A and B are shown apart, each in its own frame.
Chain A
Amino acid sequence: MADLSGLLRGAAAGERLALARLLTAIENDAPGLRNLLPALFAAGHGGHLVGITGPPGSGKSTLVNALTDEWRRRGRRIGIVAVDPSSPYTGGAIMGDRIRMMGHAADRDVFMRSMASRGELGGIAAATWMAAAALDAAGYDPILIETVGAGQSEVEIARLAETTVVVEVPEMGDEVQAIKAGLLEVADVLVVNKGDRPGADLAARHLRAMLSTAGGRVGRTPPPILLTTATSGEGVGPLVDAIEAHRAEARSADAVRERAGRQVQRALADLAVRRAARDPAWAATLQSVAYRELDPITAAERLLGEDG
């Protein structure tokens, strides 16, 4: 593998191949990556990190394409990480997000990378934040992260992104769906896509009514709810306005501290797992849990050296 600091320098200088190879090193957790992290983190330009999530088939990829159209009209350079699921059986993946992005295929100011989730839960690959940092170092702004079609419990993207856009469709369900906790709760901006379908206005109205009263967003204002038709571009201008308007809110001292807390929590959990897995007692401890001789919490405490 090439020298990683060289790749970072090349990426920061606008070399696309260097950026692409840096992203590969990140995905593969290449040797030496750990030592690059401080420089990678420091090299960012403060690009707006925007997560796009929502159920499969809600039109996330098409919407990312429409957002890219709009941001290009506004003279911005856009970095995109599109995450698709890996097969839990073979580790293989099919990533088709470029199909919707053909209009930008030859545009040098759009950089898109497809990433397989490689078994990571929560809809975004473990390496996603580092990939976003690499795009930030290369000067892209905004940086869009499109997650795998997420379900209600997959709110991992909100940990990472400054602005989380949740994409729904008119057929999302009745009012009760809107007041369940989970995906809708993490939305900073809520989109009802496929706005040309019957019932789209009604779905947006239901969401608005539910989230303004019983949205379960304690201490937070309800998100703006926008109607878009990604295939025609209808409503995409106002959506970009709403995302940009959220940028300031996302950078308040409180919001920045809260996000940092979530990210460090996540890093701590990963580190604890990696460290525990190196413990010679790892296999035996797992076996004790499997045979119900030990409960999982006690097992975790032992592996972290916290007997007692």
Chain B
Amino acid sequence: MDDPRPTPIRVLIAKPGLDGHDRGAKVLARGLRDEGFEVIYTGLRQTPEMIVDAAEQEDVDVIGMSILSGAHMALLPRVVELSRSRGLDDVLIAAGGIIPDADVAKLKAAGIAEVFGPGTSIGQIAGYFREHARRRA
């Protein structure tokens, strides 16, 4: 039977690096599920290689990374670099967490599409993903 719903957007939610706090990532995963996204949650302590491997196998439309440890400048541009080298050219890569304003511009220059700080609502993030994620035939 025809499904009136559009194809769900697939989002990988990952926690890169060594911080052990994933409440925010889980709340976001749950919130995006309620917004109709298919969310693949990979858990804590992911290396950029693990994140990109998972994104490749899962063929996701969006990679969302939550990071609170301060290691964002080391880890996030690496995910962009690896993704592009694997041919994941049209995957939207975004980040959220505690990231100083001064670093946001640098991350955007490195290919992170958007950085969501504290206080961002799930609706705003869902809206951004809907607007900017690639569309499938």
Contacts and interface: CB of A to CB of B under 8 A. Distances in A.
B40 A114 contact: yes
B24 interface: no
Contacts of B87: 17
A238 to B, nearest CB: 29
Given A20-B57, A92-B36, A277 B1 contact: yes
A106 B5 CA distance: 34
A87 B1 contact: no
Interface residues of B, number: 36
A38 B1 CA distance: 23
Given A17-B88, A20-B57, A92-B34, A273 B1 contact: yes
B50 interface: yes
Contacts of B29: 94
Given A30-B137, A102-B50, A106-B49, A116 B43 contact: no
Contacts of A21: 59
Chain A CB within 10 A, most for which of B43, B50, B53, B87: B53
A17 B50 CA distance: 15
22 contacts: A17-B56, A17-B87, A20-B58, A28-B7, A87-B36, A91-B36, A92-B34, A92-B39, A94-B39, A95-B38, A95-B39, A98-B41, A99-B41, A99-B42, A102-B42, A102-B45, A105-B46, A106-B47, A106-B53, A113-B58, A119-B3, A274-B1
A116 B136 contact: no
A136 to B, nearest CB: 16
Q: Please report whether the interface of chain A is mostly helix, strand, loop or mixed according to DSSP.
A: mixed
Given A20-B57, A87-B33, A93 B38 contact: yes
A5 interface: no
A91 B37 CA distance: 7
A75 B86 CA distance: 26
B133 interface: no
B86 A92 contact: no
Given A20-B59, A102-B50, 16 more contacts: A16-B57, A17-B87, A17-B88, A20-B57, A23-B59, A31-B137, A87-B33, A90-B33, A92-B39, A95-B40, A99-B43, A105-B54, A106-B49, A111-B57, A277-B1, A277-B2
Interface of A: 1, 16-17, 20-21, 23-24, 28, 30-31, 86-87, 90-96, 98-99, 102, 105-106, 111-114, 116, 118-119, 273-274, 277
Given A273-B1, A277-B1, A94 B57 contact: no
A111 B58 CA distance: 9
A17 B44 CA distance: 24
